Amino acid sequence: MRIAAILREARQYLSAAEIHARLERESAEVSLSTVYRTLEFLRAQGAVSQRTDEAGETTYLSCDGDHHHHAICRGCGRVEDVDCEAIDQFTEDLDQHNGFLLESHSMEFFGRCRACR
Amino acid sequence: MRIAAILREARQYLSAAEIHARLERESAEVSLSTVYRTLEFLRAQGAVSQRTDEAGETTYLSCDGDHHHHAICRGCGRVEDVDCEAIDQFTEDLDQHNGFLLESHSMEFFGRCRACR
DNA sequence: TTCTATTTGCGAACCGTTCGCAAAATCATC
DNA sequence: GATGATTTTGCGAACGGTTCGCAAATAGAA
């Protein structure tokens, strides 16, 4: 599917509107509705993850299912994977100190990638 | 101001609509517009931080300005502060491994607090 | 080919949020 | 207090991203 391919190649979070625009650019025209439906489908499949940006717009990123964290470049928007082995330690600490049972977490890092710094 | 007090006492992320409802409950009626305006004011002051939840709704939390991370209880919604001294190490690692200049980050932990687990 | 099931596009509806504007409240000055 | 200027408020319309309903188009099965 073209939408999945666009996301895979982009390596950054894209909004539905942005994806729609890119489809038009490669003259594979589909309606915005279809873009939303496809994204929802891909999300349900676990092929795509989503986040809402500061403006409240939902954006989508191709993902392979396993959990890792993202470093998002403020320059080009490119997303790199980061792994965080320290999380296990956190889980432990949170439990001990706060009595908080950690079930999931999300982390995002913002800065500038090698090319944009 | 009543809105700031509500947020301070709630110790959880509340939506504008929820705050509006709580104001009505204590018969301090103001319009939704005023709630939004006040929240924007408090945010600009740094007295309130905001996040957008899964549904895309903006929610607000009382905060004291300095940066720390949050453990959000899936049971009661209560937010606890977590500190993460490991971040400095991360910054170092990201730079070394990925050539990524870390400027800011956000982390959220989800689980169950002592009372709700 | 024919009938059925699925996917698509369109436009309206939805919902949280913002905006414009006029009414109301507040404040400063006399 | 009365007067006029400034600020805050409420209302309703507008906005923008997303969802929904429905009928037309397409794909699949028999």
Q: In this predicted model, what pLDDT tens digit does every residue of B73-97 receive, in sequence order? A: 888 888 888 776 666 677 777 788 7
**Tens digit of pLDDT for each residue in B28-81?**
889 999 999 999 999 998 899 998 888 889 999 998 867 778 888 888 888 888
Is some CB atom of chain A closer than 8 A to the CB atom of B55?
no
The pLDDT of residue A16 is 95
**Interchain proximity B107–A102, CB inside 8 Å:** no
The pLDDT of residue A72 is 86
Q: How far is the CA of B69 from the C1' of C18 (A)?
A: 30
Token pair in block for residue B109: 């932990």
The pLDDT of residue A89 is 73
Quote the pTM value: 0.83
The pLDDT of residue A86 is 67
Question: What is the dihedral angle through the alpha carbons of A54, A60, A64, A65, rounded to the nearest 10 degrees?
Answer: 60
**Tens digit of pLDDT for each residue in A48-101?**
999 888 888 999 999 886 777 888 888 788 888 877 666 667 777 778 878 888
d(CA A82, CA B83) in angstroms, rounded, equals: 20
Average pLDDT, integer, range A10-17: 92
Average pLDDT, chain A: 86
The pLDDT of residue B111 is 87
Q: How far is the CA of A49 from the C1' of D27 (A)?
A: 29
* Preferred mutation among A58, A105, A108, A114 to probe B, highest tally of B CBs within 10 A: A105
**Extended strands (E) in B3-113:** 14-15, 48-52, 58-62, 69-73, 79-82, 101-112
In terms of pLDDT, which residue wins out, B111 or A117?
Answer: B111
**Interchain proximity B71–A94, CB inside 8 Å:** yes
Q: Contacts of strand C, CB cut-off 7 Å?
A: A 29-31, 33-34, 37-38, 56; B 15-17, 32-33, 36, 40, 56-58
Token pair in block for residue A39: 């994204």
Residue of B nearest to A96 (CA): B114
Chain B residues whose CB is inside 8 A of the A103 CB are: 74, 110-112
Lookup: nucleotide whose C1' is closest to A56 CA: D17
Q: How far is the CA of A32 from the C1' of C12 (A)?
A: 15
Q: Determine the distance from the C-alpha atom of residue A16 to the mean position of all C-alpha atoms in its chain, rounded to a whole number.
A: 13
